Chain A
């Protein structure tokens, strides 16, 4: 009965997600103050290419408490149902390695099933103590295992938005701040006779420097954006602009933006981009970015 409710809830949820791109369901107001520019078939719009430069996640996602509990549960089940381990095939009888394995295995049994499991046979107390001492000596001789690096980098605590080690589990995107103060993705104009993905590569190098090992994923754009039509200040009509977005990955290096056009840069997650970027621009780009 309750399971059916759960399943109907799940069925309702994806439809909300799949319709999200058609209707803006967020609490923020729809950008009605910017009129949608009409399609002008006679005049070709000015083409721009923009790059979404992505630093893919470096770290695996942290398992939730439920996932960890489930994995531990499955491990217990496997331990209960598996064939007994052929220790005599893998370890020489009476060797120190066998004693080490035995001790560790008993500990694992106790963790999995409880205090009644993993109990040593009462053979010879002195012998058992001698074995344990030998195992400890072996551990000392082998030395401590290498310390692992922590998953949280110092730049996380310092909130260094230029660092590419920050937020290892998330996707980071490069955002540039223009001299006027608006945050946007790197972009540039498409020259005559140039293909879009070539223009994207050239614009990226021009705006962000060539000290990055980047790879543009495909010839196809992943999205487009039409800026809101400004009120005509001068007498001649301004051609419309359309920006096509291309996805790229960064594998090494750091951005060195061109100081003439760009004031500042940052590597941000999707939520951080939302807080910095103008609202109309955000509604144009949010579908292209990864949630996680």
Chain B
């Protein structure tokens, strides 16, 4: 019904493609370089705003496609709620685990405070990423340039860059078992 008003209907007949759905915004203009014409029609929305979407258009068979995609309105709502419930279960489990870990940490710090106040104060000090301990400064003088750079790269208080993000499949080489020891002062 609304597909008749679409400006792309003429274009579809002209080309021999198997698509009956392309998105054309601006109308055809005669006497233009075809490459520029393609870019222009892809970029600029048409002036006739007869669709709910502000920039584009639905596919021509959107009603039929939606009917095949969604079983029914009630089914869609049920799926939505089931998904939210699933996410809630996961979230609650994760929050409970985090709370357990935090409680364990809090109790340990309380214990430490009752045992030794100096160690407790030291443990609570924030890490200064730009600080270099005197041992490190002495060590840097003795190392080569590349090794000094490697030693500096591990910044205290920040995550090391060697911590890998989980991937869908493992690396070809697997775990790196042979790692040359590199001394880093505490």
Contact = CB atoms under 8 A, between A and B. Distances in A.
Interface of A: 3, 6, 10, 13-14, 17-18, 20-21, 39, 44-45, 47, 56-60, 66-67, 70, 73, 76-77, 79-89, 93-94, 98, 102, 105-106, 112-114, 116-117, 120-121, 123, 148-151, 153, 163-165, 168-169, 195-198, 201-202, 210-213, 215, 218-224, 242, 244-245, 249, 251-254, 287-288, 290-291
B147 interface: no
B33 interface: no
A60 B170 contact: no
Interface in B39-63: 39, 41-42, 53, 55-62
Contacts of B168: 59-60, 148, 151
Given A114-B68, A202-B186, A220-B124, A59 B166 contact: yes
B170 A220 contact: no
What 9 A-B pairs have minimum CB-CB distances, sorted nearest first?
Answer: A17-B96, A83-B56, A253-B179, A84-B21, A251-B162, A80-B65, A252-B179, A113-B68, A224-B108
Contacts of B61: 117
A82 B162 CA distance: 40
B93 interface: yes
B123 A165 contact: no
Contacts of A213: 162, 179, 182
A117 B60 CA distance: 12
Nearest to A13: B92
Given A20-B100, A221-B123, A165 B181 contact: no
B162 to A, nearest CB: 4
Contacts of A211: 179, 181
Interface in B129-170: 154, 159-160, 162-164, 166-170
Contacts of B17: 87, 93, 98, 102, 121
Given A10-B89, A151-B169, A219-B127, A70 B81 contact: no
B30 interface: no
A36 to B, nearest CB: 13
Contacts, number: 234
A26 to B, nearest CB: 13
Nearest to B119: A196
B177 A14 contact: no
Given A117-B65, A290-B97, A70 B169 contact: no
Contacts of B66: 80-81
B167 to A, nearest CB: 7
Contact of B125 (A86, A88, A150, A219): A219
12 contacts: A17-B93, A59-B169, A85-B22, A112-B69, A114-B68, A123-B18, A163-B175, A164-B177, A220-B105, A220-B123, A251-B162, A287-B100
A197 B115 CA distance: 16
A15 B67 CA distance: 42
Contacts of B123: 195-197, 219-221
Given A59-B170, A195-B122, A222 B96 contact: no
A59 B162 CA distance: 15
Given A80-B62, A87-B19, A70 B79 contact: yes
A16 to B, nearest CB: 9
B10 interface: no
